């Protein structure tokens, strides 16, 4: 018999808050975390805005020595993991360590470290390149470092599927618990690619917004005037646990995961498949696994990147899955406030979806001033909405044609 899988802890470090509570508070208030880039000189860049994590002090939490041996994405993932573990009130000891897994991913990995050490190589020579370059830049290192930091000895890996990575990490954690491979999994994503080469690279493929004069209005999913996504950074980690294990230690679940669907477009390296058919199949697969009918979904946290094709095709995908029910379901894109956290976005939005079922509140899509006629669903524009959210779906789609859909419910014994 497959295990029910519950969420007992959530940890977040985001552009709108350094922890779970602050992030939720600011999302509900419609506060944007997007501003002019402060971490490097943007002269000569077409895009000069991003959703940075401001005021982050990894050394204060992790210690100076440990923090300096981590790329920023790993620091973010480690701090989010510590909050998630504290929230779940789980104790990792030798007796349970082998049944606790870590699956924290990154779409890009240690891009900051790699770009910095390339400069060292060019300016100071090969002998001056840091011995920590390779372990700091590898995308599995947030997962590895968290495992070592906590003493978790179960399965440990990082699945990479571009902007679906964080969602797939959570999906695979869900499946691992259902199979009996682990009792507990720390799963999520971490990303930190706001650096010159990261911004330049996304500019070169015309993916980023260039609304530099109005940073907080730049991310505008489903709006007629959207012109690209805003690069964000941060991390989110969930503690997923078998219900039996959670009840055995008197844990208090904040939600339950019931469905996971993943598909491939097999179409284009950056563009979604026509009509969003790959995303639609992911949603259908998640609903099938959850044994839910479309009308039972109370909220959808859309991928909603603020790019022309994604928003249009995701809308078409939702219509093809939910039919007339699509017009009745509240939807929002929290990327309007957080920007796009790439490989961490699916994890952050999964956490937000769980919190929506727990708080019975739907965060808004801000900046939706002139809705695109092709995007004519209920996107919860401008202001949050109190609602009895029993079931929430979270969508994530990525370069390379990856599509992932997760479904969460409020926990009921």
Residues designated catalytic: 163, 303, 340
Q: Are 207 and 46 in contact (CB under 8 A)?
A: no
* Burial tier of 129 (Cβ tally within 10 Å: 0-12, 13-18, 19+): middle
Give strand pairing partners of 36.
49
Q: What is the full DSSP assignment across 48-111?
A: -EEB--TT--HHHHH-HHHHTTS-HHHHHHHHHHHHHHHHHT----TTTGGGEEEEEE-SS-SH
In the chain, DSSP finds a helix count (H) and a strand count (E) of 14, 13
Nearest CA-CA partner of 22 in 104, 80, 94, 100: 80
Nearest CA-CA partner of 314 in 218, 222, 208, 384: 222
Nearest CA-CA partner of 235 in 142, 366, 337, 145: 142
Q: Are 233 and 198 in contact (CB under 8 A)?
A: no
Nearest CA-CA partner of 238 in 323, 357, 364: 357
């Amino acid at each position: 018999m497959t295990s029910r899988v519950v969420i007992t802890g959530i940890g977040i470090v985001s552009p709108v808050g350094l922890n779970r509570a602050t992030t939720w508070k600011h999302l509900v208030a419609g506060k944007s975390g997007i501003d002019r880039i402060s971490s490097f000189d943007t002269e000569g860049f077409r895009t000069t805005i991003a959703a940075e994590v401001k005021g982050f002090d990894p050394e204060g939490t992790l210690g100076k020595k440990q923090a300096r041996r981590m790329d920023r994405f790993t620091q973010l993932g480690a701090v989010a993991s510590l909050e998630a573990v504290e929230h779940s009130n789980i104790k990792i000891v030798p007796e349970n360590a082998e049944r606790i897994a870590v699956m924290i991913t990154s779409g890009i990995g240690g891009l900051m470290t790699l770009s910095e050490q390339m400069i060292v190589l060019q300016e100071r020579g090969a002998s001056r390149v840091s011995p920590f370059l390779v372990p700091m830049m590898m995308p599995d290192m947030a997962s590895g470092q968290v495992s070592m930091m906590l003493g978790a000895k179960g399965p440990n890996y990082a699945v990479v599927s571009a902007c679906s990575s964080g969602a797939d990490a959570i999906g695979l954690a869900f499946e691992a618990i259902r199979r009996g491979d682990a009792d507990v999994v720390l799963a999520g994503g971490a990303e930190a690619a706001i650096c010159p080469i990261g911004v330049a690279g996304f500019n070169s493929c015309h993916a980023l917004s260039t609304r530099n004069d109005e940073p907080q209005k730049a991310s505008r999913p489903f709006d007629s005037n959207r012109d690209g996504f805003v690069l964000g950074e941060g991390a989110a980690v969930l503690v997923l646990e078998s219900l039996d294990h959670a009840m055995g230690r008197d844990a208090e679940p904040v939600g339950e995961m019931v469905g996971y669907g993943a598909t491939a477009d097999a179409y284009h390296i950056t563009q979604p498949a026509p009509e969003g058919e790959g995303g639609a199949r992911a949603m259908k697969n998640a609903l099938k696994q959850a044994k839910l009918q479309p009308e039972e979904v109370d909220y959808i946290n859309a991928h909603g990147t603020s790019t022309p094709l994604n928003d249009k095709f995701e809308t078409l995908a939702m219509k093809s899955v939910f039919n007339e029910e699509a017009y009745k379901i509240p939807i929002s894109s929290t990327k309007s406030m957080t920007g796009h956290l790439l490989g961490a976005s699916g994890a952050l939005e999964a956490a937000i979806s769980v919190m929506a079922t727990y708080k019975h509140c739907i965060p808004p899509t801000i900046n939706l001033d002139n809705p695109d006629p092709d995007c004519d669903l209920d996107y919860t524009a401008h202001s949050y909405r109190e609602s009895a959210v029993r079931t929430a779906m979270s969508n994530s789609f990525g370069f390379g044609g990856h599509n992932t859909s997760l479904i969460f419910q409020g926990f009921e014994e």
